[in-house]
Amino acid sequence: MSQLPHLHEASAHHAADASRTSAPATGRVVIVSASVGAGHDGAAAQLALRLAGLGLAVDRWDFLDLIPAGLGPLVSECYRRLLTIAPSAYQRIYSSTESTGRPGPLIRLIQRSTHRRLLRRLPPDTRAVVATYPIAGQVLGSLRRRGRLAVPAAVYLTDFSVHPLWVAPGVDLHLAAHPVPAEQARAHGAERVAVAGPVVDPRFTPTTGALRTAARERFGLPPGAPLALLVAGSWGVGEVAKVAAEVRATGAAVPVVVCGKNRALAERLRADGIDHAFGWVEDMPGLMHACDVLVQNAGGLTSLEALACGLPVVSYRCIPGHGLTNAAALDQAGLAPWVRDPAELASVLAAMVDGPTGRRYREAGLALHRDASGPAAAIAAVAGVAVSDTAPPDAAPQPLIPAQRQHSERRAAPARNLTPRLPGHRPGRRLGVALAALTATAWLSTAGTQLAVAYGGFDAVDAEHTGRAYLVVHPPHGEHLDDATLHALSAVKAAVSIDTAEAAADPGEVRRFAAAGLTLVNAGYGPPYQTGIVTRRDSVEAGAGALRSATGAASAFFLSSRDVDALDLGLAAYHHEHLVVPDLRIACGSAATPQLKPGQIVLVECGSADPAGLTTTLNRLLTSHRPPRLGALTTLS
């Protein structure tokens, strides 16, 4: 690994000064981003402008293009669906990788599959490679550690908080926007970290009275009312409708909502009476100039753009994972308060719109941008190239080198690789890549799906943060429960799982359960509640049909052992069933009585036991170990 120029631990400013000479800069920098949302690409675009302003040639690549067999869009779509359909699943996966500090098997497979492609596409005059996407950074670090990447590598941290996957061993430099993420990167093991400040589009400038008036007229906004701008990323994810309604109810500000590419969300908001709901907005600087406060849920690039405009930022009802950690980091840095209690929303909005609190946060945001040296000169220093004296810090006059793929050109083909075939490259290797791609696809549709379900994924109910326990009882086969037992089950808000054989053999008993007010759960073909790859494939369908035949109504839940794949999930979604994955399974009549814990879904399996065994088990569960409060499964759907 090449020797690095000295970089001050607290700032990249000294590196920028030391690297400036009278000689013009030469060489090329390659930036690897990813079209996963808009933040990574947005930061990459601004880095490219600033590096080009310093006289460097710049190429921008989309990491998703490097993934074989065209699987990149699938990776992005899986991430989007986790955030929109199963946010609790994303939170658990995020927390899991945060605690282990290393990527999972699928991510490692994706990393390895991109190594050769990345190296082949590097132009011969490349002096440094920069990642604005964590998995791309991991790839660069791996190649540097193995000695396969001869030029320095850097990672620009686009998030204000730092997940361990952002820190890539082997990378020469990690660049942060503020000391808070810089310290987090060091805590995760980053060896060289510099605080270089944020990079945002130069159009995001401090607002003035004239700019505000003109912008409100241009967007058709009320001229005199306080306006709260609500943003939810390019995908429009999170509790946007709820936040808009809550902001409106405070009376402190009129909500102005940007839904990104989520047109359905914009239409829903307008139907709910939110008058100012926009889809994708090209003139975001103008819209920020028009508003008085920004309410955000992800803490990404949009928050930094607002701070550059002097628009105070409030974090509220943040999306899982990086949304929560970014909110905490922005709060810690004194740049944006994080409202955790809805009862405080009105007072915080009022204080931010008008008063000393809002002025203090405006000044802090402006200072973040005003006092930053910028990362371009630090990247040039790492690359070992000189920067012209005539070039201002991080100059960005015009976009000189366009990205290979912009958001509006999502399907454009990547540039052809004209590098001659390397010695030893055989067509058989292409077959290996194709097989690896098929393996990854199969993993996503089977094992990957199972992993997501194990973490509360997709449309699985999640009891973890409720503070209650939830009982599901699979009643004894061929036995009738007496009225007292039914009353007891109803009193503890238990659900009853019914398999196909039970529903077909005794539909009258199933109707008794429904009449007693018990929630019915589709148990498919019964224990072990598996669907299988070939056999038992129609378990979801058969159970749903049997319950519908017995009661005339559909079940809202499907009991799963986590052995489900994408087809099973599609069937469950078709029948409008939520997955129920037990955390604890207890045999009916067992002498051992485990302790119930808050956040658990507990399955009591009776099998061939008599009804008295069920009564005994319930009594033990509810009278020992001070059990938590019990909840109804329907409250989790």
**Number of structural domains found in the chain:** 3
Regarding whether 111 and 228 lie in a shared domain, the answer is: no
Please indicate, yes or no, whether residues 281 and 356 belong to a single structural domain of this protein: yes
Structural domain includes residue 184: yes
- Would you state the pLDDT for residue 513? 92
Residues 169 and 242 placed together within one structural domain of the fold = no
Query: How many CB atoms sit inside 10 A of residue 203's CB?
Result: 14
Burial class of residue 339, CB neighbours in 10 A (0-12, 13-18, 19+): buried
Let me know if residue 183 belongs to a domain.
Answer: yes
What was the pLDDT predicted at 68? 72
Q: What is the CATH number of the domain that holds 570?
A: 3.20.20.370
Q: Residue 310: what pLDDT?
A: 95
Give the separation between CA 127 and CA 31, rounded to whole angstroms: 11
Are 366 and 378 in a shared domain?
no
Is there a single domain that holds both residue 176 and residue 258? no
> Do 182 and 236 share a domain, yes or no?
no
Q: Which of 407, 431, 466 is the last residue of a domain?
A: 407
CATH of the domain at 361: 3.40.50.2000
Give pLDDT, residue 237: 75
- In which domain, by residue range, is 269 found? 209-370
Q: Is residue 8 part of a domain?
A: no
Same domain membership, residue 392 and residue 348: no
Q: What CATH number should be reported for the domain holding residue 68? A: 3.40.50
The predicted pLDDT at position 229 comes to 97
Q: Give the mean pLDDT of the chain.
A: 78
Residues 364 and 218 in one domain: yes
Cβ partners under 8 Å of residue 412, min gap 6: 404, 405, 406
Q: Is the pLDDT of residue 272 over 60?
A: yes
Higher pLDDT, 20 or 169: 169
With 60 as the cut, is the pLDDT of residue 442 above it?
A: no
pLDDT digits (tens, 9 = 90+) for 358-378: 999 999 999 999 877 789 989
Same domain, 290 and 354: yes
> Is residue 430 in some structural domain?
no
Picking from 145, 104, 144, the residue whose alpha carbon sits closest to that of residue 128 is 144
Are residues 339 and 316 in contact, defined by beta-carbon separation less than 8 angstroms?
A: yes
pLDDT tens digit sequence for 511-522: 999 999 899 999
416 — pLDDT class (breaks 50, 70, 90): very low
pTM, entire model: 0.59
Tokens of 101: 């500090």
Alpha-carbon span 228 to 555, nearest angstrom: 41
Q: Does 386 map to a domain?
A: yes
Collapse the DSSP code of 21 into the 3-class scheme (helix H, G, I; strand E, B; otherwise coil) and give the result. strand
pLDDT at 458: 45
Residue 385 and residue 356 in one domain? no
Q: Which of 344, 370, 396 is the last residue of a domain?
A: 370
SS (H, E, C) 39-107: HHHHHHHHHHHHHHHCCCEEEEEEHHHHCHHHCHHHHHHHHHHHHHHCHHHHHHHHHHHHHHCCCCHHH
Angle at 338 between CA 333 and CA 342, to 5 degrees: 170
